[in-house]
Amino acid sequence: MNSLTDSMDEPETVAPALDSPAAEAATFRGDTGGLPIDTRRVLVQLLLGPSVDARRQSRLWPVLLRDEAVIRSRMHDLFLEVVIDHEQRVAFTRQVVSEELDVPILLRKASLTFLETALLLFLRQRLTHADAQGDRAVVSLDEMREHLSVYERDGNPDHAKFERQLVNAIDKAKKLSLLQFIRGSGERYEVSPTLKLLFSAEEIQELTRTYAALAAAPNAVADEGEEGDGRNDSTEDEEGAL
């Protein structure tokens, strides 16, 4: 083989020194990453969204706290910031906002429909009540359906369409991992504490007043073709960490 051919061959991957951090963290052939495997799992979970929850990801939570500095640094490389609520023991990512830079958007916002927003408000209120009692927030499928049913127009000629919208709203909460099915409990779900971080107190008060007024006058409810006031940031279909 001549020298020209030799120079065109694919260069061999140079393995890191055995005593280097990259070698110690190597998990697959050719791995050049320098973080331990458990730290990488935290990064992936934060990107998948909607959160790292100490109760549901009990192995990841202490790793997040241990390696918080490097995790924040890696997320900053992607123009993301990590929000950690130590009291609720949950963490999630959100897009960095800067007036000085044209920041590329990794997490895009997706508006929620009227019924989806109404459901999230109901679930958040259930969380608040459960916290006051020192309990887990648990809700049944029937309770969610009953709550949303008050928003159906009086004399609605297309009840089947409303039923589909109701089911879609509940499915959306499941997709966002805001509802976790409790095995062996029938159709009962635990509400993720992440939901408490998605709306400010001012937004909750304003939305609650609006939805309470609409519940008292269902004919005033907007058509589900219109989008509501909710929002969500995530990396799944970009719907992960509201």
- Of 201 and 74, the structure prediction assigns the larger pLDDT to 74
- pLDDT (tens digit per residue) in 134-161: 888 999 999 999 999 988 888 888 889 9
Name the pTM for this structure: 0.62
Q: Do the Cβ atoms of 103 and 133 come closer than 8 Å?
A: no
**Tokens standing for 166?**
């109701």
Distance CA 71, CA 26 (A): 18
Pick 108 or 186 by higher pLDDT. Answer: 186
Mode of pairing for the β-strands spanning 90-95 and 52-53:
antiparallel
**Mind listing the domains of the chain with CATH numbers?**
3-107 (no CATH), 109-217+224-234 (1.10.10)
Dist. CA 51–CA 176, nearest whole Å: 10
- Burial of residue 182 (CB within 10 Å: 0-12, 13-18, 19+) is middle
Report the alpha-carbon angle 1-13-36, nearest 5: 170
Specify the pLDDT at position 166: 94
Examine the pLDDT at 241 and tell me if it is beyond 50: no
Compute CA distances 52 → 45, 61, 116, whole Å: 7, 7, 23
Q: Between 223 and 6, whose confidence is greater?
A: 223
Question: Between residues 133 and 139, which one has the greater pLDDT?
Answer: 139
Q: What is the structure's pLDDT at 201?
A: 65
Question: Residues 158-192: pLDDT tens digits?
Answer: 889 999 999 999 999 988 888 989 988 889 999 98
Q: How confident is the model at residue 9 (pLDDT cuts 50, 70, 90)?
A: very low
Which pLDDT band, with edges at 50, 70 and 90, does 113 fall under?
confident
* 53-92 confidence digits (pLDDT tens): 898 899 999 999 999 999 999 999 999 999 998 988 889 8
